[in-house]
């Protein structure tokens, strides 16, 4: 670490004159980065980065390629226990058809019964309980970075999402279920994001919340099991409740995510 120079401005960066003087002749300028990552597409500004270009330089692996799981384990991406848990979950769901909304009720009930007794995570793919045409609730807590919140119970959240498990377009994913009931700090509010499919900037009508240390673990993900990207989960304020805490931790107030989230 180095002490912050007195020459920095309020935003934490050097004045323009000092910045230009300190930049090497062949160094990287912000203008150059913006020019390289910003492109015109359909008369609308778009952005490209590693996340956006990922589909063009990768190809899906079939589930039966065992070497991918070996590589996950050897690299330290996942533990042997996590691999075995993922295998048991996948085989159980297929065997009992628990993933099927109409046929898998006994399998889901048995899964929850067993997990309740061992203190594990409930079946992460239950369907939302809002009826067709029923308006999803909106809660405006105006949560700010550093505030402490408690994620509502799984049952409470299911009552705020529809059959597709969305609340006004924002998906409540099965990877979020293990965090239900936990207490975390707000890291950022999401008001805009880059859509990975198009590279274009999208704006949220209803802001979402990102919490510290809360990201996708890829434990229950179809066709992306053990994905190492660890993308932050987005939460509606209707799924959270404020916890009074005198110790606030300052953070940024906005967050630009690179994720193909809905809405």
Q: Who contacts 50 (Cβ-Cβ below 8 Å, separation ≥6)?
A: none
Question: Is 182 within 8 Å of 243 (Cβ atoms)?
Answer: no
| Tens digit of each residue's pLDDT (9 = 90 or more) over 209-241 | 999 999 999 999 888 889 888 999 999 999 999
Q: What confidence score (pLDDT) does residue 121 get?
A: 92
The domain locations on the chain are 125-263
Mean pLDDT (the chain, rounded): 84
Q: Is 231 exposed, middle or buried (0-12, 13-18, 19+ CB in 10 A)?
A: middle
| Tens digit of each residue's pLDDT (9 = 90 or more) over 51-83 | 888 888 888 888 889 999 999 999 999 999 999
Q: What confidence score (pLDDT) does residue 230 get?
A: 92
3-state secondary structure of 150: strand
**CA 105 to chain CA centroid, nearest Å:** 28
Q: What is the number of alpha carbons within 13 Å of residue 216 lying toward its C-beta?
A: 20
Distance CA 134, CA 161 (A): 10
Task: Give the pLDDT band of residue 24 (cuts 50, 70, 90).
Answer: low
């Amino acid at each position: 670490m180095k002490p912050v120079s007195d020459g920095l401005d309020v935003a934490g960066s050097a004045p323009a004159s000092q910045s230009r003087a300190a930049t090497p002749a062949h160094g990287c300028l912000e203008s150059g980065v913006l020019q390289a990552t910003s492109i015109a597409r359909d008369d609308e500004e778009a952005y490209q980065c590693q996340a956006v270009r990922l589909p063009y330089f990768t190809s899906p692996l079939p589930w039966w390629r065992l070497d991918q799981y070996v590589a996950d384990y050897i690299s330290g991406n996942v533990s042997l226990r996590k691999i075995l848990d993922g295998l048991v979950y996948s085989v159980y769901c297929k065997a009992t058809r628990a993933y099927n909304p109409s046929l898998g009720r006994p399998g889901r009930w048995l899964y929850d019964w067993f997990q309740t007794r061992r203190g594990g995570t409930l079946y992460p793919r239950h369907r939302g309980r809002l009826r067709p045409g029923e308006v999803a609730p909106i809660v405006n807590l105006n949560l700010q970075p550093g505030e402490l919140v408690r994620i509502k119970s799984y049952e409470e959240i299911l009552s705020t999402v529809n059959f597709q498990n969305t609340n006004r377009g924002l998906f409540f994913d099965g990877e979020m279920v293990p965090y239900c009931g936990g207490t975390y700090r707000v890291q950022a509010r999401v008001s805009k994001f880059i859509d990975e499919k198009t590279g274009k900037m999208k704006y949220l009508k209803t802001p979402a919340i990102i919490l510290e240390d809360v990201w996708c673990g890829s434990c229950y993900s179809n066709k992306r099991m053990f994905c190492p990207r660890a993308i932050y989960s987005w939460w509606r304020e209707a799924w959270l409740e404020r916890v009074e805490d005198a110790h606030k931790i300052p953070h940024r107030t906005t967050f630009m995510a690179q994720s193909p989230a809905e809405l």
